[in-house]
Amino acid sequence: MPDASRLVETLEAIVGPGFCLSSPEHLLAYECDGLTLHRGSPSAVVLPADKTEVVRVVRACRAAGVPFVPRGAGTGLSGGSLAECGAVVIECSRLNRVLEVDPEDRVAVVQPGVVNADLSKAAAPFGLLFAPDPSSQQACTVGGNIAENSGGPHTLKYGTTTNHVLALEVVLPSGELLRIGSRTGWDFGYDLVGAVVGSEGTLCVVTEATVRLTPLPEAVETLLAVFPDIVSACRAVGDVIRSGLVPAALEIVDRRTIEAIEASVYAAGLPADAGAVLLVELDGAVAVLAPQMERVRALVAGQGATRVEVARDAAERQRLWRARKGAFGALGRLAPDLYVHDAVVPRPRLPEVIDQILAIGEKHGVRLSNVFHAGDGNLHPNISFDRRDPDELARVLAAGDEILRACVAVGGVISGEHGIGTEKRDFMRLVFGEDDLAAMQRLRDAFDPDHVCNPGKIFPTTRFCVESNPKARGYDRVSFDS
């Protein structure tokens, strides 16, 4: 039985030399995910090559009494793959094989480290795609998508990841290998796949996924409606939804984001005079798209769109989507840090909530921009800042707090697709009562009674190895170089 001090040796024996990282310079890269505010150093990072190695790594951690954290590409924005309590990170990038694409059954079987966009690439020759398309899809993994129940611009029509996962193979915190769900999509008994999707790596390590593939649409039309301001664009979203149309995507990009995109490698010729643009994608049978486009044109004009530009070909469409999906990256030009918020409000409340968010940004004097999945009511107010400046940092956190409360006050929720992680665990009580949280905790306990699998995530706590109090976490003294 290895003890904690010998764990690294044991792990290296399991995964082989070079695939167990423990030097400070290697561990530095794993100190955070896309949320740069929260940090925690793992005691080691292992890169297993197959499920058997995952089982052995989990068992070795258990024997040593050390917790572990599954990790994909680390693009998460809520601190989900952060190693707290000196946990071992189980990095899934070597589990990166598409094991099967079955065009007849429209199903793929993949390992968790497969990059989202690579799965769609593998399915494309068969006229199929993997519908969940987070803007990070060139980097993020299917395992991360499953754990976060990720969405994307096309969630409006195609649903989030949970709608596309049929069966899973998982390693439980006990070290048992389990198969749940069914390739047919028909299941019985408790919906354990449903429980694992969105569980943020707190129930098990996913080692294989059987996912649904979706036929590529017969035709696609992408329109860019130019608005003088963001509130009018939000009103137009309401009108489109009310009309009964179901676009594949309805995305809003505001002026500050447009400026950042146009100054970056993602530049797509977005209009410099726009207060905001609404990107509308329609897909389906060729015959139905022309009348739908006319309907959209009329609806956006009714809310003051000054013009509508239509992508003339696939290259133009791709350029628009590259710009939209590169927006967070482009915002990285504005300041050393970007805090990407993620909340959902009922769609009819979008105009008033956006107004409030702008006012909150102004009140706290923070650099706020908005680029979001408007059709889902899924807001991403983004704050550009420099965490070396304690005063600015305090204002960023205060603004974020107020934004979340404003969203909840109109019947919204505190996360759409980025998860709770460490970022929002202390906000869970805004939407859940003690009984709700206790029921969730009991579900977790059924999988992980000892809380060794990704500890410290989702649940509010003040008695964890890191205090959840923002000051105690060191927000006020976090150094840029740490």
Q: Which parts of this chain interact with ligand FAD (CB under 6 A)?
A: 33-34, 69-77, 80-81, 92, 112, 134-136, 140-141, 143-145, 147-148, 150-152, 200-201, 205-206, 328-329, 417-418, 454
**C-alpha separations of 346 from 264, 378, 430 in Å:** 33, 9, 17
Pair 472, 426: CB distance under 8 Å: no
- Residue 391 CB, nearest approach to ligand FAD (Å): 26
Helix, coil or strand: residue 209: strand
- Residue 94 CB, nearest approach to ligand FAD (Å): 12
- Residue 335 CB, nearest approach to ligand FAD (Å): 15
- Residue 297 CB, nearest approach to ligand FAD (Å): 26
For CA atoms 295, 300, 306, 311, give the dihedral sign: negative
- Of 180 and 299, CB closest to ligand FAD: 180
- Of 134 and 412, CB closest to ligand FAD: 134
Report the C-alpha gap between 414 and 297 in whole angstroms.
33
- Residue 147 CB, nearest approach to ligand FAD (Å): 3
C-alpha dihedral, 192 to 202 to 172 to 112, nearest 10°: 80
- Residue 170 CB, nearest approach to ligand FAD (Å): 7
- Of 283 and 342, CB closest to ligand FAD: 342
- Of 134 and 381, CB closest to ligand FAD: 134
Q: Which two tokens stand for residue 158?
A: 């195609």
- Residue 195 CB, nearest approach to ligand FAD (Å): 12
Backbone angles phi, psi at 112, to 5 degrees: -70, -20
Phi-psi region of 106 (alpha: psi -120 to 50; beta: other; left: phi over 0): left
Residues, the chain:
482
Q: Which two tokens stand for residue 413?
A: 């929720």
- Of 136 and 232, CB closest to ligand FAD: 136
Helix, coil or strand: residue 372: strand
- Residue 256 CB, nearest approach to ligand FAD (Å): 16
Report the C-alpha gap between 150 and 137 in whole angstroms.
10
Report the C-alpha gap between 44 and 88 in whole angstroms.
5
Tokens 């294989």 -> residue: 208
- Of 151 and 361, CB closest to ligand FAD: 151
- Of 356 and 382, CB closest to ligand FAD: 382
The CB-side HSE value for 259 (13 A sphere, CA atoms) comes to 9
Report the C-alpha gap between 260 and 273 in whole angstroms.
14
Beta strand ranges found along 47-162 (DSSP E): 68-71, 88-91, 98-102, 107-110, 128-129
- Of 118 and 200, CB closest to ligand FAD: 200
Residue 315, class by beta-carbon neighbours within 10 Å (0-12 exposed, 13-18 middle, 19+ buried)?
exposed
- Residue 104 CB, nearest approach to ligand FAD (Å): 27
- Of 53 and 148, CB closest to ligand FAD: 148
